[in-house]
Amino acid sequence: MTYRVADDRGGVRAHNVGDVRVLITGGAGFIGSHVADELADRGHDVVLLDALLPKAHGTAEPPLWTKRHEIVLGDVRNAELLDSMLSGVDVVCHQAAVVGHGIDPSDAPEYASHNDYGTAVLLAAMHRAGLRRLVLASSMVVYGEGRYACPEHGVVRPLPRRQSDVDAGNYDPRCPCCDALLDWRKVPEEAPLDPRSTYAATKLAQEHLAAAWARQTGGNVWALRYHNVYGPRMPRDTPYAGVASLFRSALRNGQAPTVLEDGRQMRDFVHVTDVALINALAVEQPAPDGVLEAVNVCSGDPHTVGDLATELAAACDGPAPLIVGGARPADVRHVVADPAKAVERLGFKAQVAFADGVADFATAPLRDPVRS
Ligand SMILES: NC(=O)c1ccc[n+]([C@@H]2O[C@H](COP(=O)([O-])OP(=O)(O)OC[C@H]3O[C@@H](n4cnc5c(N)ncnc54)[C@H](O)[C@@H]3O)[C@@H](O)[C@H]2O)c1
Ligand SMILES: [Zn+2]
């Protein structure tokens, strides 16, 4: 089978792969379901595994959009189930995780159990099955704060933000050498890792577990560090939903989207169909043996959180955003991905422009509210 893959200069290159059978954990979720569609559309054979966690799903039935696929309802922490499912599988695409930032340390066991123990059980089962290819859903949260430069001292690790600065509306972090306010830079994959939340710590631990597995077995891993993913099937208005979903839910209720700080926080909003595309490219092109290769997954076209709220308000014909100041303790100021490695290593270039993705998101179907 031949695929045509966009190159970084707007052209395409041909790419040959055979069809593969892919186990997608978390395949009923927001991102996993799009990965399943993309892989199936490209002629691959997919099987989904999902526990339909009550915190993520509104019903105990798989969402309608998974109906076209083979789906097994079960838990990735169930070793026997994995043993029965892995026979005949060529690649595992591991999307299953508990997401969101967590509320307080009482939810740490749940994050660690699903995200890290679950990954450990999966890796052991892959080892028993002699399976060597893993695509892992990682996250930009492994970086913590983004990358910053001081006009005087170049790239520096920023100081934690002071409450007095936040209260005075100075949201940018300061230089540890001279106290100047810093400018953001693009974060490359080799940037220091500094997870700030329970969730972030468990996402980084997934990478470490997978890297150890690759070293021990000669297996290979793409760790895809997704930035801010948005698009159809996003969960609706829950504490676990991303900012795009919260803005849209407010607008659908006739309310203005509420934007923290001054709205100038920089992010990279990447459309979920582009995240599915890079997963397919990673399934089709093995990483080098024995290592985990981390790759940023982003659009390469950063925008502020305020831009997102303004565009979405216009697309929904709703009230203009309310900029309310303040900052939450775990919030980082700017995180902007460097897209170069994804282009170079996987031939990935995001296809959905911000304006088009946001306009479509204004009316896109979202996932039902969670069961309480
Ligand atoms: N949404 C984002 O912006 C974003 C950003 C960075 C990384 N990620 C990562 O992408 C992946 C998918 O996230 P999503 O946004 O689609 O979340 P989601 O909640 O929609 O999907 C996760 C799915 O995994 C399932 N799941 C969780 N634990 C399981 C277990 N133990 N066994 C079987 N199934 C289980 C859930 O039922 C759910 O369907 C996650 O690994 C997440 O950490 C997401
Ligand atoms: Zn300085």
Q: Is 271 helix (H, G, I), strand (E, B) or coil?
A: strand
Nearest ligand to the CA atom of 176: 2
Contacts of 83 (CB under 8 A, 6+ apart): 125, 128, 129
Nearest ligand for residue 82 CA: 1
CA-nearest residue, atom 11 of ligand 1: 95
CA 70, 280, 207: angle at the middle one, nearest 5? 95
How far, in Å, is the centroid of ligand 2 from the Cα of 174? 8
Ligand 1 atom at minimal distance to the Cα of residue 28: 39
- Atom in ligand 1 nearest the alpha carbon of residue 96: 24
CB atoms within 10 A of CB 319: 13
Residue 371 has a pLDDT of: 56
Nearest atom within ligand 1 for CA of residue 240? 19
Both tokens assigned to 182: 């810093």
Q: Looking at residue 100, what is its pLDDT? A: 85
Per-residue pLDDT in tens (0 to 9) along the chain, 372 residues: 444 444 444 444 444 466 899 999 999 999 999 999 999 999 999 999 999 998 888 788 999 999 999 999 999 999 999 999 999 999 999 999 999 877 789 999 999 999 999 999 999 999 999 999 999 999 999 999 899 999 999 999 998 888 888 888 889 999 999 999 999 999 999 999 999 899 999 999 999 999 999 999 999 999 999 999 999 999 886 666 689 999 999 999 999 999 999 999 999 999 999 999 999 999 999 999 999 999 999 999 999 999 999 999 999 999 999 999 987 655 789 999 999 999 999 999 999 999 999 999 999 988 876 655
* Ligand 1 mutation target, pool 52, 95, 121, 279, most atoms within 8 A of CB: 95
Please state, in angstroms and rounded to a whole number, the distance separating the CA atoms of residues 367 and 360. Answer: 15
The per-residue pLDDT for 367 is: 85
CA of residue 156 to ligand 2 center, whole Å: 8
pTM as predicted: 0.94
Give 86's contacts (C-beta < 8 A, 6+ positions apart): 23, 92, 125, 126, 128, 129, 131
Return the pLDDT at 51: 97
From the number of C-beta atoms within 10 Å of its C-beta (0-12, 13-18, 19+), residue 125 rates as buried
312 lines ligand 1 (CB under 6 A): no
Is the beta carbon of 270 within 6 A of some atom in ligand 1? no
Neighbours of 62 (CB within 10 A): 18
**Using a 6 Å cutoff on CB, does residue 93 contact ligand 1?**
no
Please work out whether the CB of residue 62 comes within 6 Å of at least one atom of ligand 1.
no
Instruction: Supply the residue whose CA is at minimum distance from atom 2 of ligand 1.
Output: 229
Q: What is the pLDDT of residue 1?
A: 45
